[in-house]
Amino acid sequence: MRSTMPDYPLTIQHFLWRSTTLFPGKEIVTRREQGYHRYTYREFGERVAQLAHGLRELGIGPGDRVATCAWNNYRHLELYFAVPCTGAVLHTLNPRLFPEHLEFIVNDAEDRLVFVDASLVPALARIAGKMPSVRQFVCLSDGPPPESPLTPMLSYEDLLRDKPKTYEWPVIDELDAAAMCYTSGTTGKPKGVVYSHRSTFLHTFGAGLSDCIGLTERDCLLPVVPMFHAMAWGQPYVATMVGATQALPDRFLDPASLVELIRQEGVTVAAGVPTVWIALLQYLEKTGTRLPSVRTVVCGGSALPPALMEGMARQGLRMLHAWGMTETSPLGSVGVVKSTLGKTQEDEMRVRLKQGLPSAGVEARLVSLDTGKDLPWDGQTIGELQVRGPWVATGYYRGADPDRFTADGWLRTGDVVTIDPEGYIQIADRVKDLVKSGGEWISSVELESALMGHPKVLEAAVVGVPHPKWQERPIAFVVPKPDHRGAVTQEEILGFLRPKVAKWWLPDEIRFIDEIPKTSVGKFDKKLLREQAVTPAVAGVRPSE
């Protein structure tokens, strides 16, 4: 028997309708070089319509790829809506990628238009003349576009000027592409993930649930996570759907600017990677500033170090740990605590530090790396995490790297995890980052968390280096806190680790450095560190020798 319910298309158009109709007076605020830009959802909706007219004028039709190379700001948000709502495909470009990767991505996607922030014109100009599919650049700026080899280039505001403030939105098939984003390409070439309207719609609902990020109309969201990577964890769509106030930081991501924005706008929920929060925590500790409006600091992208969660708790800030991937839209699991758990503060902390329960809509399984068989959820056995669901990719654009997907429709995440009997996922490592020593595995993530618990350590990253006897041995790169530069010894660090980890887990070498190199999305760049690790250090300690 068929239902009496309609085949109502699950498209992003609904969120545009909802925010502009139900919350026309709510605000979207963007940090600027000088001061702030602010307008309402009503004005936002009018400009989205004007932009849609502009896209049509430039010959953009259904399925055409429209790229953006922009920070988190109101114009980028307008593109997040106008492009997919006209039936075209939003393609976010990460300006921090190597030029070869950027060039590959633009050409692989065959972008027709590129909208670029004035401040990012130099980043994109690195590949000027190498984007044959691009017919037009549009500069996101107040004034005329800067001089550059990116031609022809017109101004965004000129494109919108005098256009009608309403648009007859077309009927869109919910399974059509709405947006695409490439993986960061830390191994091999970047691969395209194409999100549909339906997957985005469902992800937005899933992410909005109270047992996920739980954003409401009463909230003011600060997405520090960039809109050019993994759709800013879907936050722009969630915030717009519920009519939350949005506080967008543009390129001003230093702790002082973030604190100013948080305090001025009364931000309640902020989302970003651990490195952002490590820097913010340091700033708060140094200046004695408090952020009383903030109720949740969402942290994902790499493992949340316990010392960070504890430090933020001392500032009255509650962190919410989330896991996801470009391929999972990206929210896959969230560290919410079941009512039956977390009876003591320590228990609760232990649960919240895990990557969490698969979010509603996502199924998970634990699979042996050797045999491919299902493994028990006992919190001990480690294997690869595989996931599936309506917003989890089942293939890459143009069929790249098909081995990442199983024949029965699951995504091989490449993350090595345990899952406990309650269903909580805990990441031990990326498959490629596990240190294989003497036939056993050492979790670099766990070692890093232990290292970052040292009161003099700001950041730490662990990689495996080839070893003639043990196959691989861990070495640790450690950044001391500014007040302790040159004042922390290797023996001190190892002494701190000894009671915390198995003897054979102790790094063979500790290297003190000023900064851990980061990837284009702010994660520790382990590829680069592995290269550096095989170069002998000037100073170091090898306890095994």
Q: Which residues are catalytic?
A: 183, 327, 436, 441
Between helix 41-57 and helix 74-85 the angle, nearest 10°, is 60
* Residues 221-260: x where in contact with ligand AMP by CB under 6 A, - otherwise, as a string: ---------x------------------------------
Toward ligand AMP, which CB reaches closer, 278 or 303? 303
Q: Which of residues 57-116 bind ligand AMP (CB under 6 A)?
A: none
Q: Least distance from C-beta 114 to ligand AMP, angstroms?
A: 22
Contact of 332 with 387, CB cutoff 8 Å: yes
- Which of 206, 208, 324, 389 binds ligand AMP (CB under 6 A)? It is 324
Q: Provide the 3-class DSSP secondary structure of residue 380.
A: coil
- Binder of ligand AMP out of 330, 395, 480, 522 (CB under 6 A): 330
d(CA 448, CA 450): 5
Are 242 and 84 in contact by the 8 Å Cβ rule? The answer is: no
CA distances (Å), origin 485, targets 236, 457, 475, 478, 538? 39, 9, 19, 11, 16
Q: Is 182 helix (H, G, I), strand (E, B) or coil?
A: strand
CA distances from 292 to 263, 264, 285, 310, 468 (A): 8, 12, 14, 17, 54
**From the CB of residue 108, how many other CB atoms can be counted at a distance below 10 Å?**
20
Q: Compute the least distance from the CB of residue 467 to ligand AMP, in Å.
A: 24
Q: Using CA atoms, how far apart are residues 111 and 397, in angstroms rounded to an integer?
A: 14
Q: Which residues pair with 138 in a beta bridge?
A: 115, 154
Total number of residues that touch ligand AMP (CB under 6 A) = 21
* Omega within 30 of 0 (cis) for the link into 95: no
SS3 content of the chain, % helix, strand, coil (to 5): 30, 25, 45
Contact by Cβ (8 Å): 517, 525? yes
Residue 305 CB, nearest approach to ligand AMP (Å): 10
Nearest one of 354, 355, 413, 418 to 383, comparing CA atoms: 418
Interface residue with ligand AMP among 301, 464, 474, 522 (CB under 6 A) is 301
For residue 292, the minimal CB distance to ligand AMP (Å) is 26
Stretch touching ligand AMP by CB under 6 A, among 170-178, 311-319, 398-406, 410-418: 410-418
272 counts as binding ligand AMP under rule CB under 6 A: no
The one segment of 138-146, 213-221, 408-416, 449-457 that binds ligand AMP by CB under 6 A: 408-416
Q: Which two tokens stand for residue 315?
A: 């500032």
Interface residue with ligand AMP among 275, 355, 426, 443 (CB under 6 A) is 355
Nearer to ligand AMP among residue 262 and residue 309 (C-beta): 309
**Residues between 412 and 431 with contacts to ligand AMP, criterion CB under 6 A:** 413-415, 427, 430
Element (H, E) at 275: helix 274-287
Instruction: Report the C-alpha gap between 496 and 128 in whole angstroms.
Output: 51
Of 73 and 426, the one with the shorter C-beta distance to ligand AMP is 426
Helix and strand totals (H; E) in the chain: 15, 25
Q: What angle do CA 364, 366, 371 make, to 5 degrees?
A: 140
Query: Does 207 sit near ligand AMP (CB under 6 A)?
Result: no
CB of 271 to ligand AMP, least distance (A): 12
Output the six-digit token pair for 276.
Answer: 């952002």
- Indicate whether 303 belongs to the interface with ligand AMP (CB under 6 A): yes
Using Cβ positions, the residue closest to ligand AMP within the complex turns out to be: 326
Q: Which stretch binds ligand AMP (CB under 6 A): 13-21, 49-57, 316-324, 387-395?
A: 316-324
Comparing CB distances to ligand AMP, the nearer of 58 and 400 is 400
* Stretch binding ligand AMP (CB under 6 A), from 68-76, 93-101, 317-325, 368-376: 317-325
Does 326 contact ligand AMP by CB under 6 A?
yes
For 118-251, strand residue ranges (E) read 136-140, 153-155, 177-182, 192-196, 220-223, 245-248
Q: Tell which one of 179, 225, 258, 325 touches ligand AMP (CB under 6 A).
A: 325
Would you count residue 297 as binding ligand AMP (CB under 6 A)? no
Place of tokens 């001089």: 147
The CA distance from 105 to 102, in Å, is 5
Q: Is 321 in the site for ligand AMP (CB under 6 A)?
A: yes
Per-residue contact track with ligand AMP, 511 to 540, x per CB under 6 A? ----------x-------------------
Cis peptide before 62 (omega within 30 of 0): no
For residue 171, the 8-state DSSP code is P
Residue 183 interacts with ligand AMP (CB under 6 A): yes or no: yes
Q: Which stretch binds ligand AMP (CB under 6 A): 83-91, 115-123, 411-419, 467-475?
A: 411-419
Rounded to a whole number of angstroms, the minimum distance from the CB of residue 213 to ligand AMP is 13
- Span from 32-40, 198-206, 297-305, 358-366 in contact with ligand AMP (CB under 6 A): 297-305
Out of 11, 30, 86, 184, the residue judged to bind ligand AMP by CB under 6 A: 184
Q: Binding residues for ligand AMP, per CB under 6 A?
A: 183-184, 230, 300-303, 321-326, 330, 355, 413-415, 427, 430, 521
